[in-house]
Amino acid sequence: MSPVSEQKCPNCGGATRFDPARGKYVCDFCGTVFAIAPQKPADAGSQWEGFDFSKLTEQALHPDAADLPVCRCVSCGAEVITPPEQAALTCPYCGNNLVLTDRITGKLRPDGILPFRIQSQDLPAAVNRFYRDKKLLPKGFFSAATMGRVTGVYIPFWVFRGRIGGIIRFRATTSSSSRKGDYVYTTTKYYQLDREAGLAFEDIPVDASMKVDDKLMDSLEPFDMTQVQGFDTRYLAGFTADRFDQSPDDIASRAKVRMQNSITDITRANTGRGYSSVRYASSQLRSDLQVQYLLFPVYLFDIMHERKSYHFAVNGQTGKVVGKLPLSTETSIWYFLKRAGVVSGALILLSFARYMLGF
């Protein structure tokens, strides 16, 4: 594999960047546009079988692969994969400047990358659409809230696929009623149901960075896995990329829980016919998993309102916005009173609630 080199425009020598809207590499100085030839991502599991994750800084995934330039943030410890020509960077997590003199290298190349498709200038409109239907926001939030600096970062994910199967046990009941005179008699029968089930799964993403909120990343799904490309550092131009700090063994349990919940729900639905109630009791399930190391596109930013910061993330492929918004207690009380049809006396109740809550 050829060594990593600076990506300069062959026409004018200017710096180039990846343009999500066009899916191509562009030079803003002379306007030249370059296509990036699609590459096939590595097969799941093929690169990671027998890999010793306890020696991440010592053992090379690809002995013949060129080093990937990685920069370390001295403030929070984040390790960010950087384009070779990048002269200055800001940490996507803590906002501090990265110290380029603390540059390290790594051969743990991702198996693939899902390129950005949404441009950063499209984010304010996407955030406004996210706000639009939120009826319980504080008054004036739209006009007073400010959007902080937007960072486009490729988040590391372990993407699992495989099969799970075994025995799932349920407790079930049937009920029947009959009337004798003035009395109604109900007969309930109890059953133990053992069901053998098996199910195959593909493309279960689990974020591999301890610096991002797991629930926030889970909420960004789905990602279109058909658009995954083989890893190419040119996709990083104009963005940064985090390097994983959790191995597949550390987080495989999250993927297994999702698989177990899915197979249990499907089996319960098929088992419940003819019974009054069916509830899960226990299971003996075995799983066989393979894994890929992929980079997913995410925009990170904060919304400031009344001196408080609210963290947001946007799926860089679909534009889906997720984040925690402030809640107006006064608006919430009024809204639920109105929804409940309590109109008469609502102002009195609201005033009383404000007095009791101390606001």
Query: Nearest to residue 20, comparing CAs of 167, 118, 98, 91?
Result: 118
pLDDT score for 197: 95
Per-residue confidence (pLDDT) for residue 127, from 0 to 100: 80
Q: What is the pLDDT of residue 67?
A: 58
The type of residue at 299 is: Y
pLDDT in tens, 103-123: 444 556 788 999 999 888 888
Look-up of token digits 């990170």: 300
- Please say whether the beta carbons of 259 and 166 come within 8 A: no
Q: Is 168 exposed, middle or buried (0-12, 13-18, 19+ CB in 10 A)?
A: buried
Pairing of strands 240-242, 151-180: parallel
Residues 185, 190, 194, CA angle at the centre, nearest 5°? 160
List b or e across 56-92, with b for residues whose CB sees 16 or more CB atoms inside 10 angstroms.
eeeeebeeebeebbbbbbeeeebbbbbbeebeebebb
Per-residue model confidence as pLDDT tens digits over 224-266: 999 999 888 788 877 888 888 888 888 999 999 999 999 999 9
Give dist(CA 194, CA 281) in Å, integer.
Answer: 10
Residue 13: the pLDDT is 61
pLDDT at residue 242, rounded to an integer: 81
Which of the residues in the chain have pLDDT under 50?
1-6, 56-66, 87, 99-105, 343-344, 355-357, 359
CA distance 47 to 34: 30
Condensed to tens digits (0 to 9), the pLDDT of residues 232-241 reads: 878 887 788 8
Strand positions, DSSP E, 271-323: 277-305, 308-315, 321-323
pLDDT of residue 35: 72
Chain segment 135-160, per-residue pLDDT in tens: 667 776 666 567 778 888 899 999 99
Per-residue pLDDT, 148: 78
Complete DSSP assignment for 223-244 = --GGG-B---GGGGTTSEEE--
**What is the SS3 assignment for 163-218?**
EEEEEEEEEEEEEEEEEECCEEEEEEEEEEEEEEEEEEEEEEEEECCCCCCHHHHH
pLDDT at 218: 92
Neighbour-count burial of 52, counting CB atoms closer than 10 A to its CB (0-12 exposed, 13-18 middle, 19+ buried): exposed
The predicted structure's pLDDT at residue 355: 45
Domain ranges of the chain: 16-160+200-259+290-327
* DSSP tag of 36: P
3-class SS of residue 195: strand
